[in-house]
Amino acid sequence: MWDKPKLLNWIANLLFAVCVVTALYATLYVVVHLPIFPLREVKVDGQLSHVSREQVKLIVAKHLKGNFFTLDLVKARDAFEKLPWARKVSVRRRWPDKLEVVIEEHQALARWSTVALVNKQGELFHAASGSDLPVFYGPNDGVIEVASQYDAFNKILKTGKLEIATLTLTPRRAWQITTNNGMVIELGRVDMQPRLEKFANVYGSTLAVLNKKITYADLRYPNGFALRKPTERLAAPETETQVVASNEIKPDAKQTTDKKLNQTSKAVENRDLKLRKG
C-alpha cells in the first residue's frame, strides 16, 4: 500500500475531510449551546379567558429547556397543550431570543353528565368551570350529535322564550329536553325540529301569554301534542315504535290502531281547547 501514492493521497484527503467536518460540528455544537443564545421572552397570544399568567410561568420554568436553537418545539407545544383549557397550541421561534406561543382555548358549550365539559366542536375536555352551563346526557359516541342538535333546538326554543337546561339522547336515539323553567319535552326520534317549531310557536303565542304552567309536553303525536299541568296525570301515548310499526301490520289490526290514534288525537284536541279557554 505504501508504494501507491494515489491511494495514500485519497486516504489522507478522506481523513482530512472527516476531521474538518467533526471540528465544524463540534464548534457549532459548542456555539449553539453557549449561553449567548438564551430565550429571553415567551410571548403568549390568543383570546385567553382561563389560561392564567401563573400557569404559563410554571410551564416555562418546568418544561422549556435549552436556548433559542436547542429548545424542542414539539415538547414545548405538548407542555402547553396539557393546560386544561388549551384546545390547540402552536409554537415557533422568533429571532433573536423570543418564543411565540398561540393558544386556542376551549369554548365550553355544556357539561357532559358529571364527567367532562363539551366544547362547541363537540369535543370532551376536563376542566373546572363555575359557569351555569346546560347539561348533556347520551351515549359516548353521541357527543358531536348532541352538541350539533343543541344549537338547533335552543334556537327554536328561544322563539318561545325558553332555553335548554338539559338535553338527553337515549340509547334508542330518542330526544328529551328539560327547559330552564323545568318543563320536560319529549321529541322522539324523527321530525324533531318541525315538532319543536310547532310547539314553540304555540307556547310563545298562547301558553306563555296565558301564564299556563306546563310541566310536561309530549310532541310525539302525529297531529298535535299532549300537555300536562302540575296537578294532571296524562296516560302515556303509544310508544313511537308502535306507531311506526302500525304501517306494516295487517289491515284489521291497522284499523284498530288507527281508531286508537284517532281517539287519542281527539282527546289531545279537547285538552288543548280546555287549556286555551282556561
In a domain, 35, yes or no: no
* Shared domain check, 181 and 57: no
Angle between helices 53-63 and 73-81 (to 10 degrees): 140
* Shared domain check, 159 and 82: no
- Model confidence at 90: pLDDT above 90: yes
- Phi then psi dihedrals of residue 106, to 5 deg: -65, 140
Helices (H) and strands (E) in the chain, counts: 7, 12
- Which amino acid makes up residue 130? G
* Shared domain check, 220 and 117: yes
In a domain, 138, yes or no: yes
In a domain, 29, yes or no: no
* Shared domain check, 188 and 176: yes
* Shared domain check, 256 and 132: yes
pLDDT of residue 209: 66
* Shared domain check, 209 and 94: no
Which is higher by pLDDT, 15 or 53?
A: 53
Q: How far apart are the first and last CA of the chain?
A: 116
* Shared domain check, 62 and 155: no
* Shared domain check, 241 and 157: yes
* Shared domain check, 198 and 263: yes
- Model confidence at 56: pLDDT above 70: yes
- Model confidence at 135: pLDDT above 90: yes
Angle between helices 143-158 and 192-202 (to 10 degrees): 30
Q: Calculate the dihedral angle through the C-alpha atoms of 246, 252, 253, 256, rounding to the nearest 10 degrees.
A: 90
The string of pLDDT tens digits covering residues 234-252 is: 444 433 322 232 233 333 4
CA-nearest of 227, 232, 237 to 273 is 227
- Model confidence at 104: pLDDT above 80: yes
Domain membership of residue 47 as a residue range: 41-105
Mean pLDDT lowest among 22-31, 32-41, 86-95, 183-192: 22-31
* Shared domain check, 116 and 89: no
Residue 119, helix vs strand vs coil: strand
- Model confidence at 185: pLDDT above 90: yes
Cell output for 109: 358549550
pLDDT of residue 247: 32
Place of cell 389560561: 51
In a domain, 120, yes or no: yes
pLDDT > 70: what percent of the chain? Answer: 73
In a domain, 228, yes or no: yes
CATH code: domain of residue 65: 3.10.20.310
Please provide the size of the chain in residues. 278
* Shared domain check, 134 and 251: yes
* Shared domain check, 119 and 62: no
Q: Domain end: 105, 129, 150, which one?
A: 105
For residue 254, what pLDDT band results from cuts at 50, 70 and 90? very low
Q: Domain end: 77, 105, 133, which one?
A: 105
- Model confidence at 83: pLDDT above 60: yes
Cell output for 229: 299541568
CATH code: domain of residue 247: 3.40.50.11690
pLDDT of residue 246: 29
In a domain, 147, yes or no: yes
Residue 157, helix vs strand vs coil: helix
Q: Domain end: 49, 77, 105, which one?
A: 105
| C-alpha to C-alpha distances, 47 to 50, 131, 197, 212, nearest whole angstrom | 9, 18, 35, 43
Query: How many beta carbons lie within 10 A of that of residue 117, not counting itself?
Result: 23
In a domain, 137, yes or no: yes
Mean per-residue pLDDT over the chain, rounded: 81
In a domain, 185, yes or no: yes
How many domains does the structure of the chain reveal?
A: 2
